[in-house]
Amino acid sequence: MGSDVLTERAWGSASTSDPSSTRTTNGAHGLRTASDATLPDPTPIIPYWSAKRHLTCGNPAPRSSSARLFPWRGSAPGKLKTANAALVLCLNIDVDPPDIIKTNPCAALECWVNPHSLPSHKALEAIGSNLQHQFEGLSLKIPYKPILDPSYEDLRRFCLTLRKQAKDETVCFYYNGHGVPKPTPSGELWCFNRNYTQYIPVSLMEVQTWLGSPGVYIWDCSAAGHLLSNFITFAERRDQDAFTTRGGYADGMQPYMNSLQLAACATHEQLPTCPELPADVFTSCLTSPIDIALRYFIMTHHLPNNITPDMVMQLPGDLKDRRTPLGELNWIFTAITDTIAWTTFPRDVFTRLYRSDLLIASLFRNFLLAERIMKNYHCTPHTHPPLPATNTHQLWAAWDLALDTCLRQLPELLAKSPGAPNSPPSPIIGTGARSGHSGQRGSSGAPNPEKPYQYIPSRFFTDQLTAFEVWISRGGSALTKRGPLSLPLQNGGDRCDTPDVVNGITAPDADLVPRKPPDQLPIVLQVLLSQPHRLRALILLSQFVDLGPWAVNLVLTIGIFPYISKLLQAAGQDLRPVLIFIWARILAVDPSVQVDLYNTGGFKYFANVLATQEDNELPNSSEHKAMCAFILSAVARDFYNGQMACWRERVFDACSERLEEGDFLLRQWSALCIAQIWDSNDEVKVYGVDRGIQDKLILMLSDDSPEVRSAVLYALSTFMGAAGGKGQGGAGTGTQYQLEERIHFRMEVAVATGATLAVRDDASPMVRKELLVLISCLVREWRGHFVVCAWMYWEEDRRWRAGEPQTHHHHHAEEEVTAQALAEWLDGFGDDEGSREENRVLLSSFFTIFVVLMELTIDPYHEVATLAQTVMDYIFALLLASPFAKLNLVPPLPVDHKPAGANGMHSRVSSAQGSPLIPHPPSPSLSRPSNTLRRTSSFANTLRHLAGGIPFPSSDEARAPPSPVPSSLSRSDVLAASRPPSPNFNVAQYASPYSRPPTPSRDKERDLASPPVSPTAGTATFLPSHVMEALVEEDMVRLRARRREGAHGRRSAGSGLGHAGGSAGGGLNSPCESTFSMDSNVSNVPLGCGTGNGLRDVLPLKSSFFAWCCEYFTEPQMRQTEADEPGSVQYNYQVWRQQRNEQVITETQKQAIVAESSRWDRPVANLHVNSHPLCMAMHAYDPHLVIANDNDMISVWDWTQRKRLNHFCNGNPKGTSITSLQIINQDVGGIIMTGAADGIVRLYRNYDPTVNQGPLQMVSSFRALHELIRVRRGSGLVLDWKQSGGTLLVGGDSRIIRVWDAHTETQVLDLETNCESPVTSITSDQGSSSTFIVGFADGLVKVFDRRLEEEDAIVRSYHDHHSWVQNVKYHPRISGQFLSGSLAGEVRLWDLRGSDTAIQAWDLHHTGLSAFDVHSQTGVFATTSALTPANFRHQRLMIHSISDSLLLSTLSLPTGLNAYPSRPPTPYIPRHTSFAFHPMEMLYAIGQPDGSVKITGCKLT
């Protein structure tokens, strides 16, 4: 078949980890799956926020306890390696033993020699020589010692010598007792005295003593079962005595029970005496299986052309040459017996017997033939360990077919072969003696004038490959229920890899397991030896390992590793794609093979591919190079030799060149490979800095792919000291001895600052998590600077929180504390203005990072907030332990002090509700970033957290539950109900800087909450500037120690300077003189403030991003996902949805025409929700209504059943509210998107429990607007979602409108509104247009065009409204027209192509308008009247036609209010009721203050 086509089909695979990459938009770099050409056109709707990263946030899926992989290297206890062998022959030719009665005729051949055709001593020597040659045919590396008719003394001496030579390795002991009595029931075998006049018994106890352990014993004699059973008895006794008396064996010696045995028959059985068979048929099966198999076949099958045994024994060829008939049969026999063993024996037994030692594997492989033949002669071979019967295995039929095919060609082969084909074999040695050699059989070298017969090879391997291909292509990859057709459990440990979490979600079919693998798997392994079949076999293997880790483990267990390793030396270009693919899967499952790739130099193969510039030499070049980068990163991970080897092969340079490739996967893995190569490696870090790699990485933080941005941050984190492997990490960027000290310092700060400013506002929580790891590295190495920043911030914050009336003089003095300290510290640099400015800028950079870190402590994504709190509490703990705690500037806050705000935190929102915590001016000498938000736990609360409280109490804990809570609910239940849903993998754990008890008492909490008392506590005689100088200098001394420590040698991973304190001498005198010293007698750690002594070493944080990325190479890439597989439950569900959606669209299009002139007063459903419904959204296709109330609770209702499906808390801070509500991805299900007045966008999935997709989860959350401004009456956060382009427009209490791209999860651009009023509504055309319309609180309506420059983006402005624009909507039927409604009760119709005045106006509510909306399918709009003191019990609803100016319906709706509300339920929504049209159907929903929601429809008939 077309191998090139197969190769391309097998390796081209679209990434499943990033739907937002260039693959989805740029076909030039896209990779197609195998079945892309045959599938129908995909649905154009892209489900956003549904990629793997949104379901896992960069956390690897937890492995279930049943997902353990079986060790494939044979490294389990009892591994055997044969060192030498004793071949003991007790034949005593011409003298029959007394207990054996031979038939006439009788089997006579021993090792294919007739012992009676020669003098007895010559026959014995010939038999011994043949036996040695036959064993050498199994394994040439082992020395074999024939021991012919030995006496007791000779046997003992030879055995002791063998054990001495073998040391701790295995000894093979072969015993042929055909010339001595049967073994005794008590376990004695026989030999001779020196004169051969007596049989001397030898106990197995003595043999065990001589040969020791381990051993391989072959018993070829009648009643051999006595030896096997007694050996086991004696071995158990010896092992028990050893463990009882000595506690076990010495190192290197294995228990006797680990020995292997092969016995020819059972205790009551006698060896076959059939004259057509050799006397040593058991030995012949074990050592010359092809000869005995051929002889047995012609005995049991009728063949044409009178094929005789003599002709069979002249079958031409070489056992080692697979192109000859004999070699091909040997090859087929090996494949079949391997397959029989693999499909029959337990996995650990197979690995031990068939993958540990070549001789043992050959013996046990050939034993299967002995069992098949001898059982037909009432003789049952036995082994220890006992093995299941295999003589009736179905593959023996394939062996018979192969023999039949070969032997039918034998007459012509012999007739046209060189030499004399009909010459009889030698009567002494025969052809069998040559079977152990690799020489040619049946060739004499004489010239033959005739053209030789062309042997037709067997189709065995071709047919088996076809069977394997059929299994893969006809559903072998599908999962099934556990049973006879599923992957079997092996030994209770080798379970298939079926984690409970699939693609980040709890799979509804988690009880399904992989199918039983095809029997042809070991045969495919054997085919790798054949050049003609190799490519096809590799392609099939790659398709098999693509099924998952369980398939990779099976392939490794079978023994593919040595074959696949040798293939790396092949020069064929056609093998490169498949080898890269298979090696990527192997390393993803078993990273330990990194050592093998390093030792064999195999990694150079992938380094060369990665460095190749020509892309046309490799199909799907980018993805295969990404696989090479992954393989090389796995070689370098946690392995210094691998790092240096990759560096020497210029892998580091190749990866840096690939950082600018168009394929996101290659960029991602190039960055990750760089991360692993320079992880804890000073030499490579120096090399990277010299080439500016860190600057190149920082520039990549604007990449479109969140995976690439995370990978870049991961690389920068390992550069800054984070652990890329199992180590703890630390020690910053290493020595950097080529840089000056100050330049080194500035570089580390610049890297962290640049990365922080680049991604602080990233919409992907996975990226923000990696940023925290990077920041934690800087905090660990430069903790003194962060303590200074924390003190300055805390001093200002503490004074601000106090809020006490103070005299102007006292207040002025306090204001000057931080400024004076900063000025005095800068004065310490003298008149060097450059040094003063440099240090001021550096401290400002630290302060910027510190403020960003505080923002991240209240990140809406729980994992990010948890990690940030770990870092922040570590800084606070350092601050408590620093001399700042001794400064008696102001009385400390009491522990139980709880300032205003939720949970003692600053309110982050700068809007109209008037929090007293207004951001105060920054320090006069140290400028803060203008847009930083300074909300953090109070110092006392931080201490309470450290003392063992909840690290991250949600701001919703203090809220009342949305409904009365039954008394049966515990407090934990209440808190769970009032907290927002967690992400799917909420695995981040808070790490306290203190070692705290699990449940401390209140007294203990108070003790821990108190600042530690210094030995020098009392009146401080030093100034804040002295402490600043000491802390900063301590950081510099730590840097110098680090540079000295590793300047001339490699430091091991994680060998940072001690613990987090970095100082060995805590409790020193206060550093009022800023003196430092080095305690050479203790350590090389700088002494000074002793900041951080006694704290836990919780930094730097550990990232799991690399492990998560590695999962990509364990997931199927060559086949469709389950949701895209025709016939699957998910596929059928989506097909049904698509058909249902099309039907809904068709029906509503017909209804839309009628609805423009019909009444809209048909009651549909009445619901009652708790509290006041403020925002509502209806699903376009499902009967779902989403309601957000004034308690920030979101409820989901099935309005057809009048049933609440779900409810949960949004989690925004108290004092804010949900101001926008959207449902996205409606074609394929739906994700709820909320926008709250705190500037946060949150997304939730699985809100409908009826479809069984798992628990409700937060998909993502991010700060959509940073620059919220305080206004008298704000609008909070206003969202507009455009599904067709994946664009989110965000405005509100801000002077900008931010455009977010859901593909890349980044902000595309910011557009200035040029208006002082907040944005009240945004609407965009659902087509491909880039224009959108914005309404403002002052009545302005503006049209923006995103394609223009920012200063020219406002293309139209309309001024007819003079009050708050409640909503703007496009005309549903006429392109280029839109409507707007203001609180004054005016509705205007505008034409974008006309003048700046409205083309039509309606003045519907003289007392004011409450809600305004336009149906998206039909030309009608709705308005509701505002509530006034004169009319608040009822509200007027008007449904109006746009085109005909007809009033279609007017309803008076009761509000349920008993008194006029003086203000709206939230300051962000200037209305008391809510209204929403259905996106498709002719329905609308209206919510009233009493919690009633009415759904009403149009009367279409």
Tell me the three-class secondary structure of 328-393, residue by residue: HHHHHHHHHHHHHHHHHCCHHHHHHHHCCCHHHHHHHHHHHHHHHHHHHHCCCCEEECCCCCCCCC
442 — pLDDT class (breaks 50, 70, 90): very low
875 is written with which tokens? 């800084």
Residues contacting residue 506 through CB under 8 Å, at least 6 positions apart: 500, 1254, 1255
Of the pLDDT bands very low, low, confident and very high (cuts 50, 70, 90), residue 823 is confident
Whether the per-residue pLDDT at 15 is higher than 60: the answer is: no
pLDDT in tens, 333-380: 999 999 999 989 988 888 888 888 899 999 999 999 999 999 999 999
The pLDDT assigned to 70 comes to: 67
The neighbour count for residue 249, using CB atoms within 10 Å, is 16
Distance CA 86, CA 131 (A): 11
- pLDDT bin (cut points 50, 70, 90) of residue 1059 is very low
Strand order in the sheet with 1331-1336: 1319-1324, 1331-1336, 1341-1345, 1354-1358
- Cα angle 1237, 1241, 1245 (rounded to 5 degrees) comes to 135
Res. 948: pLDDT tops 70: no
**Cβ burial, residue 715 (10 Å; 0-12/13-18/19+):** buried
Helix, strand or coil for residue 513? strand
Q: Angle at the Cα of 121 (from 115 to 126), degrees rounded to 5?
A: 60
In order, the DSSP letters of 1302-1370 are: TTTTEEEEEEE---SSPEEEEEE-SSS--EEEEEETTS-EEEEETTS-GGG-EEEEE----S-EEEEEE
Q: pLDDT at position 828, please? A: 81
State the pLDDT at residue 668. Answer: 94
Give residue 1494's pLDDT: 92
> Residue type at 1397?
T
Per-residue confidence at 181, pLDDT binned at 50, 70, 90? very high
Residues in contact with 940: Cβ distance below 8 Å, sequence separation at least 6, in sequence order: 893, 894, 895, 896, 897, 898, 904, 1009
Q: Hey, how many other C-beta atoms are within 10 angstroms of the C-beta on 431?
A: 17
| Cα angle, residue 224 at apex, residues 218 and 226 outer, rounded to 5° | 120
Q: What is the pLDDT of residue 157?
A: 93
Q: Please give the pLDDT value at position 1404.
A: 84
Q: Which residue has the higher pLDDT, 439 or 416?
A: 416
pLDDT score at 1099: 85
pLDDT at 428 over 70: no
Q: Which two tokens stand for residue 664?
A: 């996101």
Going by C-alpha positions, the residue among 1233, 1220, 1209 that lies closest to residue 1174 is 1220
First to last CA, the chain: 64
Which pLDDT does position 819 carry in this prediction? 83
Least Cα distance to 265 among 218, 216, 226, 225 occurs for 225
Residues 549, 587 contacting (CB under 8 angstroms): no
**Is the confidence at residue 887, as pLDDT, over 80?**
no
Question: pLDDT per residue over 965-1007, tens digit each?
Answer: 333 334 344 444 557 787 877 777 788 888 654 333 334 333 3
Placement of tokens 């919780």 in the chain: 1098
Looking at residue 1066, its pLDDT comes to: 33
Distance CA 384, CA 1461 (A): 90
Chain-centre distance of CA 235, in angstroms? 47
* Segment 104-141, tens digit of pLDDT: 788 889 998 998 888 888 999 999 999 999 999 999 88
Q: What is the CA radius of gyration of the chain?
A: 41
DSSP-derived letter for residue 151 is B
Query: 1368 forms bridges with which residues in the sheet?
Result: 1380
Query: The tokens 């080897």 sit on which residue?
Result: 645
Burial of residue 475 (CB within 10 Å: 0-12, 13-18, 19+) is exposed
Q: What is the mean pLDDT of residues 806-822?
A: 62
What's the confidence (pLDDT) of residue 1223?
94
Residue 201 CA to residue 1121 CA, distance in Å, equals: 68
Q: Are 595 and 639 in contact (CB under 8 A)?
A: yes
Edge-to-edge order in the sheet of strand 215-220? 144-148, 82-89, 170-176, 215-220, 260-263, 382-384
Quote the pLDDT of residue 802: 67
Q: What is the pLDDT of residue 293?
A: 93
Backbone φ and ψ for 454, nearest 5 degrees, come out as -85, 110
Burial class of residue 918 (count of CB atoms within 10 Å of its CB; 0-12, 13-18, 19+): exposed
Q: Does position 1169 have pLDDT exceeding 60, yes or no?
A: yes
69: which residues sit within 8 A by CB, 6+ positions away? 494, 497, 549, 550, 553, 589, 590
30 has a pLDDT exceeding 60 = no
Q: Measured in whole angstroms, how far is the alpha carbon of residue 991 from the centre of its chain?
A: 23
- pLDDT > 70 in the chain, percent: 79
Lowest mean pLDDT among 303-317, 393-407, 691-705, 1365-1379: 303-317
pLDDT class of 958 with cuts at 50, 70, 90: very low
The residue written with tokens 């017969």 in the block is 453
What's the angle, vertex CA 685, arms to CA 680 and CA 688, rounded to 5? 150
The pTM of the full predicted model, rounded to 2 decimals, is: 0.83
Residues sharing a CB contact under 8 Å with residue 589, sequence separation 6 or more, in sequence order: 69, 549, 552, 553, 556, 1114
For the segment 214-235, the average pLDDT, to the nearest whole number, is 94
pLDDT tens per residue, range 235-267: 999 989 888 887 777 766 788 888 999 999 999
Question: In 1409-1477, where do the E strands start and end?
Answer: 1409-1414, 1420-1425, 1434-1441, 1447-1454, 1474-1477
Asked whether the beta carbons of 248 and 238 are under 8 A apart, the reply is no
CA distance 745 to 739: 9
Better-predicted residue by pLDDT, 280 or 46: 280
Sign of the Cα torsion 1211, 1216, 1217, 1219 reads negative
pLDDT digits (tens, 9 = 90+) for 1428-1474: 887 888 888 899 998 877 888 888 888 877 777 777 777 787 777 88
CA 740 from chain centre, in angstroms, equals 40
Q: What tokens does 166 get? A: 């073998």
- Average pLDDT (575-594) is 91
> Over the stretch 292-309, which tens digit does the pLDDT of each residue have?
999 999 888 887 777 888
CA angle 1446, 1450, 1452 (to 5 degrees): 165
Of the two residues 7 and 1193, the one the predictor is more confident about is 1193
Is pLDDT of 395 > 70?
yes
Checking if the pLDDT of 1088 tops 80, the result is no
Distances in Å between the Cα of 505 and the Cα atoms of 190, 477, 510, 549 are: 67, 20, 10, 18
Look up residue 265 and give its DSSP letter: S
Inter-CA distances, 1465 with 1186, 1191, 1462, 1488, Å: 19, 10, 9, 12
The pLDDT assigned to 426 comes to 37
Predicted confidence at residue 727, as pLDDT, reads: 74
Mean pLDDT (whole number) for 588-594: 90
What is the model's pLDDT at position 447? 46
Residue 185: pLDDT band by 50, 70, 90 thresholds?
very high
Q: Cα separation of 592 and 583, whole Å?
A: 12
Q: Give the chain's mean pLDDT.
A: 79
Q: Who has greater pLDDT, 491 or 871?
A: 871
According to DSSP, the β-strands at 1306-1312 and 1257-1263 are unpaired
Q: How confident is residue 78, by pLDDT bands cut at 50, 70 and 90?
A: low
Give, for 1401, the enclosing helix (H) or strand (E). strand 1400-1403
3-class DSSP state for residue 940?
helix
The three-state secondary structure class of 1196 is strand
Residue 582 neighbours by CB under 8 Å, 6+ apart: 538, 541, 542, 545, 564
Q: Report the sign of the C-alpha dihedral through residues 592, 593, 596, 598, in that order.
A: negative
The three-point CA angle 583-585-588 to 5° equals 110
Distance CA 992, CA 1097 (A): 10
User: Could you read off the pLDDT of 718-759 as tens digits, one per residue?
Assistant: 999 888 877 777 778 888 888 888 999 999 999 999 999 999
**Rounded CA gap, 1476 and 1221, in Å?**
11
Distances (CA, A) of 992 to 868, 870, 1300, 1439: 12, 6, 36, 59
Higher-confidence residue of 590 and 74: namely 590
**Residue in this structure with the two tokens 């110092």, named with its chain if needed:** 939
The pLDDT confidence band at residue 1090, using thresholds 50, 70 and 90, is: low
